[in-house]
Amino acid sequence: MSRKLTSEPGWTLFLDRDGVINTRIPDDYVKHPDEFEFIKGVKEALAIFSHIFNPVVVVTNQQGIGRGLMTHVQLDQIHKKMLSEVSSAGGRIDAVFYSPDLKNSRSFTRKPSVGLGLKAKKQFPSIHFRKSIMAGDTYSDILFGHRLGMLTVLIGTEKEVLSRCAGILDYSFPDLISFANYFQELE
């Protein structure tokens, strides 16, 4: 751990979506709102985070669009469902930024490139990356946060991902609610 998590005000939380907020569909994509399933404890975690972080943003690669498996409109419907359910549970997500580009496109907006972070900063000028946390479940998420100077938090317990993130990972939690509970203990 290179830097320390604190509960002081002025921090931004960046979250990946698939595998962190919702259940990842193996070898497929969430293409319709009815396929979007929250991981247990996520809504409660987001309710906790909404009192700690401002803003809370989601940054997600969605190459299903680039592959022609879904449209921007379908993705928007999925995100509307996600935002509505989070809000109903007392939490909030202030914005969702996504890249529709294919993995091999070398797109500036596709994580681990930093474009989605820069888009977020443009919409929320109060964001300071040194006072931001990136929580994700893949090496790509952790590298994205590291490249922007954020604290990095791996969500999940995959040993392969943990070992690949060695040297750029600050914290690791089995799930989002464990991360949120850790923050509650800091207060």
- Residues recognised as catalytic: 16, 18
Quote the CA–CA distance of 169 and 108 in Å, as a whole number: 22
Nearest to 5 by CA among 120, 127, 131: 131
Quote the CA–CA distance of 75 and 101 in Å, as a whole number: 13
The sheet carrying 12-15 orders its strands as 95-99, 56-61, 12-15, 132-136, 151-155, 171-173
Measured in residues, the chain has a length of: 187
